[in-house]
Structure 1
Amino acid sequence: MSLPAFPTVAAPTKLHQPPLPPEPTPAAARHSLSFVKPSRSPDPTVLWTCSIARCARNGRLAEAVGVFSEMMRSGVEPNHVTIVTLLSGCAGFPSGSESLGASLHGYAWKLGLVAENVMVATAVLNMYAKLDRVELARMVFDGMGVRNSVTWNTMIDGYVKKGRMPEALDLFDEMPHRDAVTWTVLINGFIKTGHFDKALELFREMQLSGVRPDFVTVIGAISACANLATLGLGLWIHRFVMKQDFKDNVRVCNSLMDMYSRCGCIQYAHLIFEKMPKRTLVSWNTIIAGFAANGHAEMALELFNRMQVEGFKPDGVSFTGAITACSHAGLVDEGLRYFHIMKNVHRIEPRIEHYGCLVDLYSRAGRLEDALNFIENMPMKPNDVVLGSLLGACRTHEDVKLAERLAKYVVDPDPDSDTNYVLLANIYAADRSWDGANKIRRKMKTLGIQKTPGFSSIEIGCNNHEFVAGDKSHPEAECIYKVLDLLSSEMKVWYAPPIIANELHEND
């Protein structure tokens, strides 16, 4: 493959003569001054590399490789920028580019660039990490004589994306100098793997170490607070944000709104929303979903309509918030109307979450048959969330027969999930149908499914304390159980006599 030919320049015509250079002044003529700049031919390596970069940047990796091959055939030597450009292209489009990346690695190694050039070695490392070959990335990392902060961060990020947090943490501890990117990568890694407490612990350590968090780090910390519902620490982070240059950052404000909504402080979320100098569709969706989840259906629908008045076109997430609001308020017809508008007016193809909202809409209104019919006619298989909405309604309305009809769907979506199995067994138990309850438990045992223990948590001094039934691992467990025994004794004093009286009456 050859480079595209440069456009030829047409010969000037009488009508379009190029401007003539000015006549030299007498002084200039005496000193032989020239107004014409000396022409320098561009470096051919730079020209070829630019062409390769243009192809790689636009996703045309095969074409970029073709240009590289033509470059080699023409006798032009590539430099380290050429190799880095191609390696970055392989990393950006990992599908089917592993063999090409390995060939480039071998070529760069023969030229000595992997050992001598930290940019090339880091690009090789990044390529292997993006190709999900973290072991090869680590081999490159260990073989590097010189590393910079980008090298360390790339290797840590490779472990994080694979969910291998212990290795990422070990590498983090070995790193000589950590910057904001290093801390942010590790914090977001713990958030993605569900270790929110560890993420917040690292956020505290980051500040103690003197590294200033940027807005990406703060968004991660806010997300951890939202998942743990630690309002105290969330308030502290909000105060921290107000002192920073990024206090009006849209993404930070959206994260704060989500955190307050999930902590039950929808008024604070609304206050942030109204004070935002600039809003995006995500901002509107976040506040609408927040009001809907907190039971303020009227306000959620009012914001949904206001959003459109202000020129924002609703997307699938917007309609999820609107239908959820209708579900919480028992507005079945209104929710169905929004679903119809989404499909037929805005031409948005419904996803599983939209069908789940309608099942929940029918279930909360007590229209269980309609909910089941809707599930049976869905264009996709129901997931645990969809089934859980109707099973919960069956338990509330003590409708065992409908729960049995629904049971055939419970096994199919996610056989490893225990939630709906437990819910179905509890429905049988509440109806004293012990055979049905035992049948479900035997099925769980056969499939190797164990009930996930429930836990309760309480926030004290910006720290979350979790408790599981019978758990004595808490450092203050002895004191906690003494207080529980005291409360139990007090309750027996106040409530035992009438209970005993009823039991005696029943025994008689």
Structure 2
Amino acid sequence: MAFFSGAAAGSAADHIVTGRSRWDNFYKFSLARSMVLAPSLRSSCVGVYTPDWLAQEEKKKKPVPLRCQRVARASGHGQDAQDQLGLILALGPDPERMSEGISEVLTPELGPWRKNSKLATLVLSGLAKSCSPCSAEKVLSFMVSSRLEVNIFHTNAVVNSYSKRGKWQLALNLLEKMFDILVPPDKISYSAAIGACSKGCQWQLALHLLNGMHVARVVPDVICYSAAISACERGSQWQQALGILYDMFHISAAPDRICHNAVISACEKGGQWLLALKLLISMPEVSLVPDQISVSAAISACEKGGQWQLALTLLQDMPGMRVMPDSICYNAVISNCEKGSQWQLALNLLITMSESQLLPNVISYSATISACEKGGEWQLALHLLSSMPEKRLRPDVISCSATLSACQKGCQWQWALACLADLPQLALMPDETCYSASITACGQGGQWQLGLHCLRREMPAIRMVPGVVSFNAVISAYGDGHQWHQALNLLSTMSESRVSQNEVSFGAAMGAFETNGEWQLTLSTLSSMPRARVRPNQYSCNAAVSACRKQGQWQLALTLLNTMPDIKVIPDVISYNAAISAYQQGSHWQLALNCFEDMIENLVRPDEASYNAAISACEQAGVPHG
């Protein structure tokens, strides 16, 4: 619709105000509500509302440069739309230069553009496709200030450019100003604005726009609903996404596959694996055929829910759905098997991928190696890592750290150090997880000196500051190597290096003290934990009880056991076994049997050591048992 000017504008003033009032009230109300939900966006969401926006644009209008006037008179016709588009895109990002350049480029085209508004549509659409929202905005402002006709196609092209770049603030501003220029937004305008809010993770604003369409008497279509569902999915609002899908069925707006996929993804992000499966199963009931996105989202939902059996079933059922699984689906199922400690299934799936002419990627191998690591199959983990270059795959830190952890669990410190040394050749920088796994492997193999070398030499050499995980690994290595003095010194060094000690730090040190019979040091370390703002746990308490019992301090051991509930630590089978052995040392077989009965009453299942300790207490006192 063209702009009004002169007397026409004066006669139509009342119509403009009346036509805008309903929209203005609603839109400002909806935006006010959104600002309550997102107060941090108040300053950036909507600019100052100016009823005389057209007058302000008119003041910004600059005189046409003489050079442009000469060009226009000499040419006698407008430039090609592609030429105009190229000249505008070449102006660069500077706003002031862009405004002046657009004025010079388009001033000679005022005549042709007045005769044919499609010429402006071509330029604006081209700018939108080129993802140049600032240029499109400047062209639209030039059209307004030059009193050219601005129609819905022009404004939608600009809103679409905002949507592609996620410029939700600009999209909302333009949506508001469209009524100032007598171009009410249609469903395309709304869907683009909702899409911009979706990309900007503004799901509240997206829902406000969707609800506002009904007030503005614009009927939402499937694209609008789909954009709103995508906004909820990106915001991890699975309840809202499911509610929109439910509303679509009740207003006879049949959801398409894109809507269902977005809701399934929202349920996956929200950990609602059962809902995701129900939505997938219900798709054929509404004449929708699931695709790879549908199934892979459901498989990922099962992965997050720890349902590896269901994920595997979905993968096997995909050919029956006429959906061919891709590498994403396989990777999700392999990750499921890894979390379920099903290394055989993960390995079979990796082999099946190659047989199905699907190329496994780094994610496939990393997940399979992690599954082998959890299953204690360090040889397979090493084999998979070494075979990756043959498949033209470059191992990453995840696959290497998983292999190192597998070697650590298999007590293969030589292989762990070899893998660690090979990382620079792969142009990889080892992280703290890699070093801690190697240090732990060295400790298990009695090579605490090598673990200390990693902490003191290798990590600083690559400018890596050792963290609590690395310190804990070395302290544990000291315990295995009977180096309790070194464990004590390193525990003190953590405080001096401003590395926060945790339960593992104290537990590893106390384990070293207990192994070497230092029961006094174990007790003092236990009492120092609250000063370091670390709460004692079962492991640290059990280490103190065991240290006292082993050195004949059975009274202290029993005192510690009785004080465990006071510090909110629940005794476990190790605690009770230590107490029964302490009673045995004190020749209190009745108390040993009472402790055994308390163990059962507190739902702690006795093990072989429990029975042996109770029987030994009875035998020592000459009490028959049977």
TM-score scaled by structure 2? 0.57
* Equivalent in the alignment of 1:261: 373
2:327 pairs with 1:215:
yes
Residue identity in the other structure for 1:278: L
* Equivalent in the alignment of 1:373: 492
The answer to whether the 8 A contact 1:45-1:77 is kept is no
**Stretch deviating more after TM superposition (413-422 or 131-140):** 413-422
| Superimposed CA distance per residue, residues 32-56 of structure 1 (whole angstroms, 9 cap, x where no aligned partner) | xxxxxx9674252354135413542
Aligned equivalent of 1:281, options 396, 403, 407? 396
Cα offset, 1:105, TM superposition? 2.8
Query: 5 Å matches for 1:98-247?
Result: 99-110=204-215, 116-145=220-249, 146-176=254-284, 177-193=289-305, 195=306, 198-208=307-317, 210-211=320-321, 212-247=324-359
> Can you give the 5+ residue segments of structure 1 that lack an aligned partner in the other structure?
13-37, 454-468, 471-487, 489-495
Distance across 2 between alignment mates of 1:360 and 1:82: 63
The answer to whether the 8 A contact 1:134-1:159 is kept is yes
| Superimposed CA distance per residue, residues 110-159 of structure 1 (whole angstroms, 9 cap, x where no aligned partner) | 4566x642222122123234435443333212101312233223223333
Residue identity in the other structure for 2:561: A
The answer to whether the 8 A contact 1:359-1:374 is kept is no
Change (3 A) 1:92 1:285: farther
Q: Please state which structure has a larger fraction of its residues in helix.
A: 2
* Equivalent in the alignment of 2:361: 249
Aligned equivalent of 2:159, options 34, 49, 73? 49
Distance across 2 between alignment mates of 1:342 and 1:68: 59
Distance across 2 between alignment mates of 1:378 and 1:123: 51
Distance across 2 between alignment mates of 1:325 and 1:452: 28
Distance across 2 between alignment mates of 1:326 and 1:390: 17
Distance across 1 between alignment mates of 2:301 and 2:155: 40
Change (3 A) 1:451 1:109: farther
Change (3 A) 1:63 1:296: farther
Distance across 2 between alignment mates of 1:84 and 1:404: 67
* Equivalent in the alignment of 2:563: 439
The answer to whether the 8 A contact 1:426-1:437 is kept is no
Change (3 A) 1:507 1:317: closer
Distance across 2 between alignment mates of 1:250 and 1:64: 40
Aligned equivalent of 2:382, options 270, 278, 284? 270
Query: 5 Å matches for 1:448-487?
Result: none
Distance across 2 between alignment mates of 1:424 and 1:439: 12
Distance across 2 between alignment mates of 1:501 and 1:328: 32
* Equivalent in the alignment of 2:422: 306
Distance across 2 between alignment mates of 1:395 and 1:162: 45
Distance across 2 between alignment mates of 1:325 and 1:78: 66
Distance across 1 between alignment mates of 2:193 and 2:421: 49
| Superimposed CA distance per residue, residues 208-254 of structure 1 (whole angstroms, 9 cap, x where no aligned partner) | 46254332332233233333333433343233223133343121012
The answer to whether the 8 A contact 1:52-1:67 is kept is no
Residue identity in the other structure for 2:309: L
Cα offset, 1:299, TM superposition? 1.9
Distance across 2 between alignment mates of 1:418 and 1:171: 44
Aligned equivalent of 1:404, options 515, 523, 540? 523
Change (3 A) 1:101 1:274: same
| Superimposed CA distance per residue, residues 337-394 of structure 1 (whole angstroms, 9 cap, x where no aligned partner) | 4335566443345444334334434443333313432454463544444444345445
* Equivalent in the alignment of 2:407: 291
Residue identity in the other structure for 2:243: M
**Stretch deviating more after TM superposition (137-146 or 184-193):** 184-193
The answer to whether the 8 A contact 1:418-1:452 is kept is no
* Equivalent in the alignment of 2:37: none
Change (3 A) 1:244 1:86: farther
Distance across 1 between alignment mates of 2:506 and 2:195: 44
Residue identity in the other structure for 1:369: L
Residue identity in the other structure for 1:255: A
Change (3 A) 1:50 1:376: same
Change (3 A) 1:205 1:127: closer
Cα offset, 1:264, TM superposition? 1.9
Residue identity in the other structure for 2:529: Y
Residue identity in the other structure for 1:409: M
Aligned partner of residue 529 in structure 2, secondary structure: helix
Change (3 A) 1:349 1:125: farther
Distance across 2 between alignment mates of 1:351 and 1:302: 22
The answer to whether the 8 A contact 1:51-1:67 is kept is no
| RMSD after superposition | 4.4
Residue identity in the other structure for 2:349: I
**Stretch deviating more after TM superposition (302-311 or 389-398):** 389-398
Change (3 A) 1:503 1:364: same
Distance across 1 between alignment mates of 2:248 and 2:313: 32
Distance across 2 between alignment mates of 1:180 and 1:62: 34
Distance across 1 between alignment mates of 2:540 and 2:357: 47
The answer to whether the 8 A contact 2:522-2:543 is kept is no
Larger Rg: 2
The answer to whether the 8 A contact 1:44-1:76 is kept is no
Change (3 A) 1:323 1:141: same
Aligned partner of residue 507 in structure 1, secondary structure: coil
Change (3 A) 1:85 1:203: farther
* Equivalent in the alignment of 1:335: 451
Change (3 A) 1:173 1:313: same
| Superimposed CA distance per residue, residues 237-289 of structure 1 (whole angstroms, 9 cap, x where no aligned partner) | 23322313334312101211221222122222222222222214233333333
* Equivalent in the alignment of 2:36: none
Aligned partner of residue 305 in structure 1, secondary structure: helix
Aligned partner of residue 238 in structure 1, secondary structure: helix
Q: How many residues align?
A: 430
Query: 5 Å matches for 1:493-504?
Result: none
| Superimposed CA distance per residue, residues 457-484 of structure 1 (whole angstroms, 9 cap, x where no aligned partner) | xxxxxxxxxxxx99xxxxxxxxxxxxxx
* Equivalent in the alignment of 2:605: none
> Can you give the 5+ residue segments of structure 2 that lack an aligned partner in the other structure?
1-46, 48-56, 58-92, 106-117, 123-152, 575-598, 601-607
Distance across 2 between alignment mates of 1:62 and 1:188: 33
Aligned partner of residue 358 in structure 2, secondary structure: coil
